Structures are given as C-alpha cells and as structure tokens.
C-alpha cells in the first residue's frame, strides 16, 4: 500500500493533469466560438485536433485573428498535453514498478528469515528492543499498524512491515512458523494477550516475551503462553529503590548490560553438541582463561543455573555459559564452543 505522502502526491498530480487539460479545452473552445463564430462542438473539435497534433484540415477557413489565436493554442496546448503525458507516465512507473518492487523485495527478505525474532509494536518499548537487536546483529522483523513508525524503523536499517500483529495471517507472513522468538510490545495488555495466544497456537516452540501495563495482567499473560513478562512500573520502582540502597550494584549491572562507550559486555554462549569441549571442565579450557572472559554462571540444559561455577564444573551439550568480557574474546569463545 502506498504511503500517505505518496498518495497525496498522486492526488496533486492527478489534479494537475486534469486542470491543465480542462483549462486548455475550455479556453480553446471558447476562443474559436468568440473569434470564428464556431458552434460549441466545432470549437471543441477544433481545439482537440489542434492540441493533439492530429493535423485534420480546418472546419472553416480561419481569419487572421483566428490563426493568431490558433498559434497560441498550439504552443500552450501541446506543451500542456506533453506535461500531462509525462506526469501520467511517471505515475504509472511509480505505481507499477516502484512500490510492487519494494513489496516483492521485502517479501523475499522475510521469506529467507530463519530462527529470527518478531517485534510486534514499534512504540517506546518495541523501539528500544529493536535497537538492541540491531546492535546485536540479530535477525528480526518489526510489525506495526502505523505507517510512520514502520517508515522510521526502515530508515534505521530495520526490516519492517505495516500489518496487524493480532491477525494470524500477519504472523504467518512474518514467518512465525520459522521464528525462534517474539516480543509482544503493544500498548494494550489485551492486544498482547491476543498476540501470544495466536503465536503460541501457530508455533508452540516459540519463545515469547511481553510487557504488562498492569501487574494483575502479568499472570494472565503467563497462562496464555508468555515465557517472560516484564512489568515496567514494578521494574522501575525496584531500580529507583536500588539506586538509593545499592548504588554500586546498580552501576555495575548497568555497566554489564551496556555496550555503549565500553568494550566490555555480557553474553550467553551456547554449547554445540559437536564441540570438542563437551564433557570437559572449566579448568580444562586454557583458551577460556587466556581470552580474559569471566564465566558468571552456567545455565544447564535441564533449567538449573549454577552461579559462580567452580573450576570442576563440566560442560554438557545444550548448556549456556553466561560470560562477561571484551567483545573479541567473547567472539573467539563462541567460535570455539560452536565449532
């Protein structure tokens, strides 16, 4: 669907074409009627054959004044006709080639997504989540009903579509059957609940996270299938209290989460079943110590989390290492464990 700006341009262009043609035909017809005493139909016919350069002979011999008027009509009318044809040609090209080409290209990009993430809603919450995924170079797609928000996401280099995320067909077109995760970030808890029910029905293996405006809605969202529910007001309240009671802890956690202005960040590294390090302990990984990466925790395949794991902790397939360090060391470590 063309954007609102594009539609307004088309309307103005159509008015320009129609106005030029109407003014030319009316002026030419009126001139022949007044100067040469033609009938209204003869004046219209003479004007039409003149501006279209058909070249039929004159209906009646023209006087000197009629020929002067006809010369002016030829210059103005033919120019107006060519301008109208040019505007119509440009409009046809933009409608038939530009917008469908963009749609086909976007559809191909969506069809090639695998194990991607879907962000439903590009408001304040969805926008910040999308920018974080963009920084992490993760494959994701933004869905929003607002054309201006989608245009803003696209201008930031994101893949985004105008669609209603509460509809099953919109989720299917977004590749929900191939996706690995979904963020329901619409402003309404009811809409987020509807998205979660639809997404989990289409893809039960999908990991879904959402936000809840009201704390009472959190439990309903979890029962609907949400794996993680964030309540912004409760989180903000805890962070405000922690900033007074435990300011250094808050500062450290912000430092660990943020990658803006710092080379140190926190990541999770998955253990591939084909990795050569499966079955070994942390103490048997010399590359881990030399890379300067700190293992904060091990998330076991069964769901258990071991904080500050001892050196004799064994690594098993499907485990996740929660690590902190500089990005080059983290990338090197991830290549070792997933090779």
The string of DSSP codes covering 190-236 is: HHHHHHHHHHHHH-TT-EEEEE-SSHHHHHHHHHHT-SEEE-HHHHH
Query: What are the angstrom distances between the C-alpha of 87 and each of 3, 8, 10, 200, 208?
Result: 19, 14, 10, 49, 49
- What integer pLDDT is reported at residue 149 of this predicted model? 92
Co-location of 95 and 139 in the same domain: no
Co-location of 125 and 106 in the same domain: no
- What integer pLDDT is reported at residue 276 of this predicted model? 74
Domain containing residue 138: CATH number: 3.40.50.720
pTM of the shown model = 0.59
- What integer pLDDT is reported at residue 41 of this predicted model? 87
- What integer pLDDT is reported at residue 288 of this predicted model? 66
- What integer pLDDT is reported at residue 257 of this predicted model? 65
Asked whether residue 61 is assigned to any structural domain, the reply reads: yes
Domain containing residue 316: CATH number: 3.30.70.1450
**Residues 6 or more apart whose Cβ sits within 8 Å of residue 273:** 317, 318
- What integer pLDDT is reported at residue 1 of this predicted model? 41
Co-location of 187 and 227 in the same domain: yes
C-alpha to C-alpha distance for 299 and 11, rounded to whole angstroms: 59
Rounded to whole angstroms, the maximal C-alpha distance in the chain is 110
Spatial contact of 161 and 110, defined as CB atoms under 8 Å apart: yes
Q: Hey, what are 244's tokens?
A: 């007074």
Domain total in the chain: 3
Asked whether residue 331 is assigned to any structural domain, the reply reads: yes
C-alpha to C-alpha distance for 279 and 270, rounded to whole angstroms: 14
Domain ranges, residue 268: 263-338
Co-location of 221 and 331 in the same domain: no
Spatial contact of 44 and 29, defined as CB atoms under 8 Å apart: yes
Pairing outcome for strands 264-270 and 207-211: unpaired
- What integer pLDDT is reported at residue 81 of this predicted model? 77
Tens digit of each residue's pLDDT, the chain (339 residues): 445 555 677 777 778 878 888 888 888 888 888 888 888 888 888 888 877 777 666 777 788 887 888 788 888 877 877 877 777 777 666 665 555 556 777 888 888 899 999 999 999 889 999 998 998 888 999 999 998 999 899 888 899 999 999 999 999 999 999 999 999 999 888 999 999 999 999 999 999 999 888 878 888 898 889 999 988 777 778 888 888 888 887 777 776 666 544 567 778 888 877 777 778 888 877 666 666 788 888 888 877 888 888 888 888 888 888 888 777 777 777 777 665
CA atoms within 13 A on the CB side of 99: 12
Co-location of 186 and 133 in the same domain: yes
Co-location of 142 and 195 in the same domain: yes
Asked whether residue 44 is assigned to any structural domain, the reply reads: yes
Query: What are the angstrom distances between the C-alpha of 280 and each of 24, 271, 297, 324?
Result: 87, 12, 16, 20
Co-location of 133 and 209 in the same domain: yes
Co-location of 95 and 36 in the same domain: yes
- What integer pLDDT is reported at residue 55 of this predicted model? 64
Co-location of 206 and 168 in the same domain: yes
Query: What are the angstrom distances between the C-alpha of 293 and each of 75, 155, 289, 322, 327?
Result: 79, 36, 7, 10, 9
Out of 62, 83, 110, a domain closes at 110
Co-location of 13 and 99 in the same domain: yes
- What integer pLDDT is reported at residue 339 of this predicted model? 57
Co-location of 133 and 93 in the same domain: no
Asked whether residue 241 is assigned to any structural domain, the reply reads: no
Co-location of 51 and 137 in the same domain: no
Averaged confidence pLDDT in the chain: 82
- What integer pLDDT is reported at residue 116 of this predicted model? 94
Asked whether residue 73 is assigned to any structural domain, the reply reads: yes
Domain containing residue 18: CATH number: 1.10.287.70
């Amino acid at each position: 669907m063309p954007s609102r700006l594009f539609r307004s341009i088309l309307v103005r262009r159509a008015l320009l074409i129609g106005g030029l043609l109407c003014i030319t035909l009316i002026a030419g017809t009126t001139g022949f009627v007044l100067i040469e005493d033609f009938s209204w139909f003869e004046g219209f016919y003479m004007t039409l054959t003149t501006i279209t350069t058909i070249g039929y002979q004159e209906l009646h011999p023209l006087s000197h004044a009629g020929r002067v008027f006809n010369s002016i009509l030829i210059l103005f009318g033919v120019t107006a006709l060519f301008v109208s044809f040019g505007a119509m040609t440009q409009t046809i090209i933009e409608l038939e080639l530009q917008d469908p080409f963009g749609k086909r290209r976007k559809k191909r990009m969506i069809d090639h997504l695998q194990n991607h993430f879907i962000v439903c809603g590009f408001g304040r919450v969805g926008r910040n989540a999308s920018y974080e995924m963009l920084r992490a170079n993760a494959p994701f797609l933004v869905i929003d009903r607002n054309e201006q928000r989608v245009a803003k996401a696209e201008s930031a280099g994101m893949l985004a579509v105008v669609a209603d995320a509460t509809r099953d067909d919109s989720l299917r077109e977004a590749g929900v059957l191939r996706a690995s995760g979904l963020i329901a970030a619409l402003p309404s808890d009811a809409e987020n609940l509807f998205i979660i029910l639809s997404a989990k029905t289409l893809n039960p293996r999908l990991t879904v996270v959402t936000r809840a405006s009201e704390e009472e809605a959190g439990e309903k969202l979890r029962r609907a299938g949400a794996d993680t529910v964030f309540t912004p007001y409760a989180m903000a309240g805890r962070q405000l209290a922690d900033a007074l009671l435990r300011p250094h802890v808050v500062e450290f956690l912000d430092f660990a989460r943020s990658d803006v202005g710092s080379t140190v960040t926190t990541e999770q590294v998955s253990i591939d079943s084909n990795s050569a390090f499966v079955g070994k302990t942390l103490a048997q990984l010399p590359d881990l110590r030399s890379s300067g990466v700190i293992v904060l925790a091990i998330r076991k395949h069964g769901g258990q989390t071991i904080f500050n794991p001892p050196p004799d902790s064994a690594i098993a397939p499907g485990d996740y290492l929660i690590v902190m360090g500089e990005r080059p060391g983290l990338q090197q470590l991830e290549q070792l464990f997933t090779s």
